[in-house]
Amino acid sequence: MTSAATSTEPRPDVIQLDGVTKKFGSAPPALDGVTASIRGGEITGLVGPDGAGKTTLIRLMTGLMLPDAGTIDVLGHDTRTDAARIQAEIGYMPQRFGLYEDLSVQENLDLYADLRGLEKADRPAVFDELLTFTDLKRFTARLAGKLSGGMKQKLGLACALLKKPRLLLLDEPGVGVDPISRRDLWKMVEALTAEGIGVLWATAYLDEAEACDRVLLLNQGKLLYAGLPSGLTERVAGRVFKLTGIAGRRRTLLAHTLDEKSVVDGVIQGEAIRLVLKEGSDPATLLPRDAGADARVVPTAPRFEDAFVDMLGGGPGGRSKLAETTLARPAGDGRPVIEARGLTKTFGDFTAAADITFDVPRGEIFGLLGPNGAGKSTTFKMLCGLLKPTLGEGRVAGFDLRRDGAEARNRLGYMAQKFSLYGDLSVTQNLAFFAGAYGLAGARKRERIALMTEIFDLGPHASLNSKDLPLGLKQRLALACAVMHEPEALFLDEPTSGVDPITRREFWAHINGLVEKGVTVLVTTHFMEEAEYCDRISLIDRGRSIALGPPDALKARVATPKNPDPTMEDAFVALVQSSNERAAA
């Protein structure tokens, strides 16, 4: 992702925030004395962990809510007195898809044109321009609910732009969108800034934040940083290293390393471990004696995410209470825990997945990647027994999913792409329901519910309905329900979509710990840094596997003299584009 275009000329402020405070009941302030500005003709990134106040701040800017203290000036209007004028002059994309899924693309445009008061005589030209801009002309008759994640976001952007705004507010537009569609979305928004439109882009993807002209970093309602992304990244210059050439299990070494007082943060990065150290720490002390003769500690360029985690006080550490309370699984007979043999699924004359073949041994993390609509979720659902394959065979823990579906499902845990628990049930009621669904009863059921409540710190929220939980807590609850019965295989469908890096690290500390105990994991993700955590990856496009191998091997396939060290996102984009070119030839 390229950086947004910048200019040395001063740009006018489109938003001025002065001492903005917002409270909800007796809880600590959602926003606490925030003072900042947002300029026209620039993309300003709004970042922060879950619950930092990002969505509250955006809603205050739209005039949908009013601050308890301080002032917000938007395009020269005070939100307290001129909310209607502000709403007429801005474009706004909320965090959740705000369109009507049972209406077509064209019907959604018609409806929002009515709501925005767009003159009927102007509509044909405006619709044509926006449909061309978003590449949705071919899909005007398709129901919005049938669009891929990336196409939904493009339609949402088109509706926000029906009356050309001077300011565009985007609340996490890239969530659930594959890297190619995110790049397309980014290019569209960059084109708008060239016309002088100011853009606020709230995001959980910190590579997006790094490409913004400026960033605002919120935490617990306070503004911790406002300025150039590079200004934040420079905080950790000289403190970021990779452990390479490691012998033995990377995940075990990472967990131990994160317990070191000198280590601020650490993640798996392909075959290496990426670490951020405290000021003055000696990286040489991090290599254990049994790391192997080829093990090295080498400096590496800092990323915005490294500085983000450092400013928030570091990651959550490497220990997992969940893994510590899970019994290690015996090595077994050497057979794969998850097997796909020629899996094919057709819907009428449409083939969603074709001849998918791979197997996953015990204690491995296997990733399914692909663009929106590529067939990875179809493959995923066939392997966890939610879809019956048209052809081929799938096995989990030795059980055939066609003949022994119930036995197979009892051996696996499933965490759905969209929050799939029961919104009108409390946290405790959801835990009890899923414990029963997985066959737990009596003292064992009570013991596991109590343990999950403790491990995931759900006690303070036990009586809340799950639909009212913040996203990070929803994900904790969903994972708790999926591992309630200590499954052999864990199926994770975009498990950290939309959550911040701190929550993501907490989540993966549990997953890494379970894998070290012999649990096998199948995961889909659009977050390419997360893809690096996998041992192997199958990249799926147009229903077929187009690449299979470890993350570092896939990156090496697309390395060039101009880009000798590509990212996982670079590999994803290049491999999909190459596959499309072969298909078109």
Q: List, for residues 524-553, the tens digit of each pLDDT value.
A: 998 898 999 999 999 999 899 999 999 999
For the cut 80, the answer to whether the pLDDT of residue 9 exceeds it is no
Beta strands in 278-335 (DSSP E): 296-299
Give the Cα separation of 201 and 337 in Å (integer): 42
Give the Cα separation of 223 and 229 in Å (integer): 15
Give the Cα separation of 251 and 256 in Å (integer): 9
Percent of the chain with pLDDT over 70: 97
**Which pLDDT belongs to residue 423?**
85
Position 1 confidence tier, pLDDT thresholds 50, 70, 90: low
**Which pLDDT belongs to residue 135?**
82
Residue pair 524/417 in contact by the 8 Å Cβ criterion: yes
pLDDT digits (tens, 9 = 90+) for 122-146: 999 999 988 988 888 989 999 998 8
**Which pLDDT belongs to residue 163?**
85
pLDDT digits (tens, 9 = 90+) for 147-166: 877 788 888 888 888 888 99
**Which pLDDT belongs to residue 385?**
85
Give the number of other CB atoms < 10 A from CB of residue 289: 6
CA 313 → CA 264, 265, 291, 327, 395, distances in Å? 8, 9, 28, 32, 43
Q: Which residue has the tokens 């949705």?
A: 136
Position 95 confidence tier, pLDDT thresholds 50, 70, 90: confident
Burial 388-419 (b: 16+ CB within 10 A, else e): ebeebbbbbbbbebeebbeebbbbbbbbbbeb
Give the number of other CB atoms < 10 A from CB of residue 468: 13
For the cut 60, the answer to whether the pLDDT of residue 89 exceeds it is yes
Give the number of other CB atoms < 10 A from CB of residue 583: 11
**Which pLDDT belongs to residue 4?**
53
Q: Give me the residues paired with residue 296 across strands.
A: 244
**Which pLDDT belongs to residue 454?**
94
Q: What is the mean pLDDT of residues 547-568?
A: 95
CA 453 → CA 316, 445, 470, 509, distances in Å? 18, 12, 16, 17
| Run of H or E including 240 | strand 240-244
- Residue 24, judged by CB atoms within 10 A of its CB (0-12, 13-18, 19+), counts as exposed
Percent of the chain with pLDDT over 90: 63
**Which pLDDT belongs to residue 175?**
78
Give the Cα separation of 356 and 467 in Å (integer): 35
| DSSP count for the chain of H helices, then E strands | 20, 24
**Which pLDDT belongs to residue 404?**
84
- Measure the CA angle with vertex 485, ends 483 and 489; round to 5°: 60
pLDDT digits (tens, 9 = 90+) for 336-389: 999 999 999 999 888 999 999 999 999 999 999 998 878 888 898 899 888 999
Provide the phi-psi class of 17: left if phi over 0, else alpha when psi is between -120 and 50, else beta: beta
Query: What own/partner pairs with CB < 8 Å and gap ≥ 24 does 153-157 have?
Result: 153/93, 153/177, 153/181, 153/185, 154/181, 154/184, 154/185, 154/188, 155/99, 155/105, 155/108, 155/109, 156/93, 156/97, 156/98, 156/99, 157/93, 157/185, 157/188, 157/189
Is pLDDT larger for residue 146 or for residue 392?
Answer: 392
Question: Average per-residue pLDDT in the chain?
Answer: 90
**Which pLDDT belongs to residue 419?**
58
DSSP state of 385: T
Give the number of other CB atoms < 10 A from CB of residue 187: 11
Position 10 confidence tier, pLDDT thresholds 50, 70, 90: low
Q: Which amino acid is at 260?
A: E
pLDDT digits (tens, 9 = 90+) for 491-515: 998 888 878 888 899 999 999 999 9
| Run of H or E including 431 | helix 427-437
Give the Cα separation of 51 and 219 in Å (integer): 8
Is pLDDT larger for residue 361 or for residue 176?
Answer: 361
**Which pLDDT belongs to residue 178?**
84
- Residue 245, judged by CB atoms within 10 A of its CB (0-12, 13-18, 19+), counts as middle
**Which pLDDT belongs to residue 134?**
84
pTM for this structure?
Answer: 0.88
